[in-house]
A and B are shown apart, each in its own frame.
Chain A
Amino acid sequence: MLIKKPTLIRPSEITPPSAYLNRRQFMQGLAGTAAFAASASALALPAPQFDKGLPVYAGPDWLQQQLRAGVSNKALSTDEKVAPYQHAIRHNNFYEFGTGKGDPAKNAQDFITDPWSVEISGEVNRPGTIGLEDLIKPHQLEERIVRLRCVEAWSMVLPFVGVSLATLLKQFEPTSKAKYVEFTTLNDPKQMPGQRSVFSSLDWPYVEALRMDEAMHPLAFMAVGMYGNALPPQNGAPLRLVLPWKYGFKWVKSIVGIRFTETMPATTWNKMAAQEYGFFANVNPAVSHPRWSQATERRLPSSLFRPNIIDTQPFNGYGDEVAHLYSDLDLKKWF
C-alpha cells in the first residue's frame, strides 16, 4: 500500500514541533534580556500558531493573559518530540463524552467550562467553593512537556500548562489528618452523553485519588492549558491532573471537587475491576493488565508499517524522581 501525504492539510501549513519549540526558546532568550524582562509584553509562552482549520481554544480572557505570562519549566520537561496538535485534540479517552477515541472531540465542543468552580472539602482548614479564576490567578503558569502513558499501552508526548499541584493544594491548608486527596470530575449527564449511557459499567461521577505525598510531589501538576492555549474540552478543560508517572486514567479531567481524606478513597476504575486497575496505577512494565502487556507501548502518532514500539520504563521514566515514594511497597501487589 502506498502512503500518500494528507490532502486536507498541506505539509507547508503544519508547524513542525521543532520550529514551534525553537520559537519558544527564542522567545525565552529574549525574555531573559533586560529590555524584555522590563516590558509587560515579555511573552515567555508565545501565542501558538496551528494549522489552518484546526480549532483553537483560547479560554477566558484572564486565562489567556496568564498563559501568555507563563514560563517553560525545562527541568521537568522531556525533550522528546511533541505530538502534533491535531492528534492531541482528537485522540482522547474521556468516557463522559463517549468511549471512542474520536468521540470526545465530537461531543465535547459545546461543553461549558466558564464559569467554573471547584469545591474543596474534607480535612482542610479552608474548605469551600472557589472560582477557577481565584484558584489559578495567584500562581504563575508553567509549561511542562511530559509523557502520557495510557493503560491501553499507547503513549504521547504533550505540552501542558498549569500549576504544580502542591502549590495549589497547600493554600487550602490540609490538616494533619489528610492522608489522601480525591479528585472528582463534573457529573452532568445533560452535557455528558457518556454519563447517560445505560451500557456503561462505570459509576459517575469519575473519581480518582492520590496519597498525600504523591500529590505533594513536584511532578504532580494541575493543568489549565495545552500547546500554549487553554485546555480543549475533550482534553479535560478547564482543570485536569497531569501525573506523568501514572497511567492516564489517574489524570482526572474537568475537576469540580477536591476532597482531603484520612482513609483511602474508593476510585472509579478500581471499583469497576480491582484486579485490573490498582489504586496507585504507577506505570510498571513488570505488571501486565489482563488486556494489555505493559512491557512495551506504541508512541503515537505511529506510522503503519513501522509501528513506533518502545519499551515502557518503570514509573514511565520518572523513576529517579518518584520511586522513593514507594520504597516500602510491593509494586506487584500495589499496582
Chain B
Amino acid sequence: MRRRVRDAACVFRIHLARLRAEAGPFLLAALVFPVAMFWFASRVSGVRAGDPKSLGFLAGAVVFSISLTAISWLGYLLLENRFTGRLKLFATLPLAPSSYVFGILIFAVAQAAAGTATLLVVARAVGVRARLDAAGASLLGATVTLTMLCLCGVSVVIAARARSFAEGTLYTDALGAGLVILAPVFYPADALPRAVGAAAAWLPTSCAARAAETTLAGGHAVAPQLLALALMSAAALALGFRLMRWRED
C-alpha cells in the first residue's frame, strides 16, 4: 500500500513538472476561458455583480473550468502518454496500473482546486461575493473533487478507447465544452426542449452546477447532487480502469 502511494506520488510529480513548460494550456482551460464565459454570460443577460444570478454564472464558470481541465486538458495528456509511447515507460516498470491512474487523479484534483480557488478570487475582485462558510467550503470542495473524478473517468475511457490521437482529441474537445453547453449552466433549464432537458439534468456537469450554485449561495442542501456525482464517478472510473490497457492482447 505504501509503495502504491509513493508510486502515485511520483506519477503526480512527473505530471506536475510538465506544468512548468505547459502552464499556458492549463491556464487557458482552468481560468481564461471560464472567466471569459462568466463575463460573456453576465453581459449578455445584463446581470450585475451583486445580483444573485451572478453566483449561478460563477458556479457555471467553476464547472466549465473543471470540465475543460479534466476532459480537454487532462484527456489530451492521457492521449499523449498513450500515443507517444510515454505510457510504455510506466507499463514496463513494476508499477500497478492503479498507481498510475491515482497519480493522474491527484494531479487532476490539484488542478481543479487551484482553478476553482483562483476563479473565486477573480470573482471576488469583480464584486461577486460567494457566501461560503466552513461547511459550505467543504461541500464545494467535495463537489469539485467528485466532478473532477467523474470527468477524469470519462477522460480515461476516451484515452483507452481512442483509435488514434486525432480521434481522441476530437472527443475530448467536443465533450470538454459540450458537457457544459448541454447542461443548463449559463441558461435556464426550461429553455431546453423537454426531452433534452430531462437528459441534461442527469449530466455530471448539471449536478455539479446545481451543487456549486447552492454552496456558493450559502446553502448546504447538496446531498442528492453529491450522491449522484459519487455514483457517476465510481461508474466512470471503474469503466476507465477496466478499459485501460496496461498490457496489450
Q: Does A associate with B in a complex? A: no
